[in-house]
Chain A
Amino acid sequence: MNETIAKKGILPHQSKVALFYFAMVLAALIWFTPVITLVLTALKDAGDFARNGAFSLPKWIRWENFSEAWETGVKNYFWNSVIVTSVKVPIGIVIESLAAFALTHMHFKWADRVFTYILIGLIVPIQMTLVPLTLLMNLLNLIDTLPGLTFLYIGFGVPFGVLVMRGFFRTIPTAIIEAARIDGASYFRIFFRIALPLALPAVVSLCILDGVATWNEFILAQIFLRSDELRTLPLGLVQFSTQFSTQYDQLAAAVLISVVPIVLVFLFFQRYFVSGMGGAVK
C-alpha cells in the first residue's frame, strides 16, 4: 500500500514509512491542539485550569461543568438552535429544489438569467442587507422572534441550495424526464416522483451542509435576536463568554456541547460534505 510514499532512496522502505507517519501524526496533533485544549479545559475544574494551565491532563474529571453550563442557559440556546435548524432546512430544500428543477428540466427560456440573479446572493456581504432588513423585520413585528430569524435564514439559503440542487439535476438525463412527459406525467409529478428521489444523495448533502451552516450562523442572530432566552448557540456562547469571562471550565463545556451535534453529523455523513461541495462547483 505504501509504495507511493516510500521510494528507493537512502533510507530503507520501512523507516521511510515510519518517518512519514511520524510527521503526519505530529502535524495532525499540532493541528488539533485547539480542539484538545477545548476538551481538556471542559473536563477540569477552574482551579486546576488556573494552576496547571490549559494543556495539562485534568487532575480529576469534573462532569458537573456540563450540567452547570447546560443549566446556566446553554439548554435554551441549544433548543433554539435545534428549532431554527430543523424548520429552516426542510423548507429551504423544498423551495430550492423546485427552483433548481425549473432551471434545469423545464425548457425555461430565462433559466440562465434567473440563475445568475440567484447567484448574486452567494457573494453579497450580509452587511449590505442589515439595515433594510432591520426596518422590514420591525415593520412585520418579527424582530426578536425565532420565526423571523428562520424566515431570513430561508432567504439567505436559497443561492447555495439552488446551486447544489441544480448541479445535481443537471446530471439527470433529459431522456428520463422526456419519457415521463410523453407518458403524460405532469411536471409536478415528475418532480416529486422522479427528480427528487433520484436526487436523494444531493438532498442529503444539502441537508447536512445547510444544517451545519444554520447551526453555526452568528451575525443575523446577533442583529435580530435581543432577549437572552431566544438566543441560538453561537450567539449565546459569545454572550456567555463576555458575561462569565473567567469561568473557562463552564464556557469550554458549553462550547463542547454546541460542537457535539456537528461532530456526530460529521462522523456519520462525512462523504456527503465532499459530494455536496463537489455539486456546488460542478
Chain B
Amino acid sequence: MTTLQQLAKPKPLRQRPPTPQRVRDDYLRFLPWVFLTPALAIYSVVVVYPMAYSSYLSLFRWDGISPTKVFVGLQNYVTLFTQNEVFWIALRNNAVWLVAALLLPTSIGLGLALLLNSKFRGSHVFRSIFYFPAVLSLAVVGLIWTWIYHPDLGLLNQALTASGLKGLTRNWLSDPQIALYPVIIAATWSAVGLPMLLYLAGLQTIPEELHEAAKIDGAGPIRRFVHVTFPLLRETTLIVLAITAINALKAYDIVYAMTNGGPANKTQLLSTWMYFLTYNYNQVGLGTAIAVVLFSLTLIFAIPYIRFMTRKT
C-alpha cells in the first residue's frame, strides 16, 4: 500500500548522465563537418581538385599519353596568344557571343516579363510558351535549329523564297562569314527563359501602390518604367547579367551540335577549341591553358556575382 506521502513525493525524472560540457562543445563543433562531408568530399574531388590540377598542367607540354611531361612555364599561353590563329578566332567569337548574350536575352526577357506580369486571361499560357525553350537541352535546340537553317529544306530559306526575298537565302551554317550569328540566334532563343523568369519574380516584389502613386502624379507608362520599375529591378538586373554572362562563356553543346566549330574553325569558341586541342590533337598543355583563359574571363563576371550571393543579410 502506498501512503499519501509516497504519492506526493515526485518521482525523479529519468535522466541521462550529463555529458561533460567540454565533450559536448567539441561534438557540436565537429558535427557540422559530418553534415558537410559527403557534399564537400565529392565536390572537391570532381570540381575543385581538377581545377587546380588543370592550372598546373597548363604549364607543361604534354600529349596526354606519354609518361613524361615537359615543364615549359608560361610557354603554352605565349603560343596561344602569338601563334594559334584559331585561338584568336575563338576569343573574338566568345566576345561577340558575350555581347549578344548581355543584350538580347536580357532585354527580350525583361520585355516579356513586363508584358506578362499583368494578369490577363491566358497570361500563364504565354509565359509557358516563352519559357519553354529554356528547358530543352542545348544539343536538342542545336539540332532543331540546324533544320531551320538547312539550305534547301530549311524553314528559313523556304520562308524567304516564299516572301520574294530569294536574294537573302544562303547556306546559313556553312558560310564562314556569318555562320556564328545563326548559332547565336538559336542560343538566344533558349536563353530568354531564365531572365524572363527572374524579372517576373523581381516584378512581383514591387508594390502596386508605387505605380498608382506615380500614375496619380501624371507619369506615363514609359516614365513609370524608367523612374519606378527599372530602378527597383536593379538587383535582379545585376543577377541576370551575371548569370547570362557566365552561361554565355559556358556555351559548348549548341555549337558542337550545329557547326562543330566549322566551317574552317570560324565558329570555334574557347570551350570547343579546348576540346579539339585536347582530345583531337592531344595538345593537353594548350588545351588546359585555354581552359584557364576561359575561367579567367568568367571570373570578371563571377566575382561580383559571388560577392552578391554571399553578402551578409
Chain A interface residues toward B at CB < 8 A: 1-2, 4-5, 20-21, 24, 28, 31-35, 37-38, 41, 49-50, 53-55, 94-96, 98-99, 101-103, 106-108, 110-112, 114-134, 136, 151-152, 154-156, 158-159, 161-163, 187, 191, 212, 215-219, 222-223, 233-235, 237-238, 241, 248, 251-252, 255, 258-259, 262, 266-267, 270, 273-274, 277-278, 281
Contacts and interface: CB of A to CB of B under 8 A. Distances in A.
Contacts of B143: 237-238, 241, 251, 255
A238 B257 contact: yes
B194 interface: yes
Nearest to A98: B35
Query: How many of chain B's residues touch chain A, expressed as a range?
Result: 35 or more
B96 interface: no
A132 B53 contact: yes
Interface of B: 28, 31-33, 35-36, 38-40, 42-43, 45-51, 53-54, 57, 64, 115, 118-122, 126, 128-133, 135-148, 150, 153-155, 158-159, 189, 194, 197-198, 200-201, 236, 239, 246, 249-250, 252-253, 256-257, 270-271, 274-275, 278-279, 284, 287-288, 290-292, 294-295, 298-299, 301-302, 305-306, 309-310
Contacts of B236: 281
Contacts of B294: 125, 127-128
Contacts of A233: 137
A120 B11 CA distance: 57
A128 B256 CA distance: 18
Contact of A128 (B121, B292, B306): B292
Given A37-B144, A122-B302, 5 more contacts: A102-B31, A127-B290, A215-B137, A252-B147, A262-B136
A33 B40 contact: no
A265 B153 CA distance: 32
Scoring A53, A237, A278 by chain B CB atoms within 10 A of each residue's CB, the highest score goes to A53
A158 to B, nearest CB: 4
Nearest to B121: A1
A126 B120 CA distance: 42
By Cβ-Cβ distance, the 7 closest A-B pairs, closest first, are A155-B46, A216-B137, A102-B35, A129-B50, A132-B50, A99-B39, A123-B302
25 contacts: A31-B189, A32-B129, A34-B144, A38-B144, A53-B155, A54-B147, A55-B155, A99-B39, A119-B306, A120-B306, A125-B295, A126-B252, A127-B274, A131-B291, A132-B53, A155-B45, A163-B309, A187-B31, A218-B138, A218-B252, A218-B253, A234-B139, A273-B197, A274-B201, A281-B198
B42 A54 contact: no
A151 B54 contact: no
A127 B271 contact: yes
Contact of B306 (A37, A114, A123): A123
Contact of B43 (A31, A155, A277, A281): A155
B129 A127 contact: no
A131 B49 CA distance: 11
A234 B128 contact: no
Contacts of A258: 137, 140
A158 B48 CA distance: 12
Contacts of B310: 112, 115-116, 119
B50 A218 contact: no
A124 B51 contact: yes
A188 B271 CA distance: 42
Contacts of A125: 249-250, 271, 291, 294-295, 298
B162 to A, nearest CB: 9
A222 B279 CA distance: 11
A99 B40 contact: yes
B92 to A, nearest CB: 18
Contacts of B287: 127, 131
B222 to A, nearest CB: 13
B214 to A, nearest CB: 14
Contacts of B298: 123-125
Nearest to A236: B139
Contacts of A115: 310
Contacts of B141: 34
B140 A130 contact: no
Given A128-B294, A258-B140, A266-B135, A98 B39 contact: yes
A234 to B, nearest CB: 4
